Copies of this chain bind each other. A is one copy, B any other.
């Protein structure tokens, strides 16, 4: 069950509710609407983009609330904020412990994800060589996707 889309959504929602409770925060209609809409979308959405989707479902929700709620998602670990050089933050769902990096098409904005354990290991080597304690990293490859390259 925890492998299905439905099960995942339930799990993430519970994580969020637990986080709210643990911090003495309140479970509001707006937060639930925003979470539901967020779960329906594909990843890498900007605040603005999610705000427009949320308005489609409930026009009374304000931009600031969407933004604050996305920050909360990131705080409790169900979402991560990313920056791909277009000057605005984008949020994506986080599933458990998986980590991935990104290929970004500078032509059409397409974002692909990849995992490469060898690169991760080499990064750790680099960190060790410099006696750095790594907290996180970012690796992004920018270029043209096949479709854009053939134009």
Residue A21 CB within 8 A of the other chain: no
The residue of chain B having its C-beta at the shortest distance from the C-beta of A125 within the complex is B116
Q: What is the total number of residues of chain A having a CB less than 8 Å from a CB of chain B?
A: 33
Contact A132 B119 (CB under 8 A): no
Most chain B CB inside 10 Å of its own CB: which residue of A105, A106, A143, A145: A143
Contact A103 B132 (CB under 8 A): yes
Residue A32 CB within 8 A of the other chain: no
Contact of A142 among B122, B135, B143, B145 (CB under 8 A): B135
Residues 99-151 (chain A) with a chain B CB within 8 angstroms? 103, 105-106, 112, 114, 116, 118-119, 122-123, 126-127, 129-146, 149
Shortest Cβ distance from residue A22 to the other chain B in the assembled complex, whole angstroms: 25
Copies in the complex: 2
Residues A149 and B133 in contact in the complex (CB < 8 Å), given A122-B122, A138-B138, A139-B139: yes
Contact A134 B130 (CB under 8 A): no
Residue A57 CB within 8 A of the other chain: no
Residue A85 CB within 8 A of the other chain: yes
Contact of A130 among B103, B132, B137 (CB under 8 A): B103
Residue A68 CB within 8 A of the other chain: no
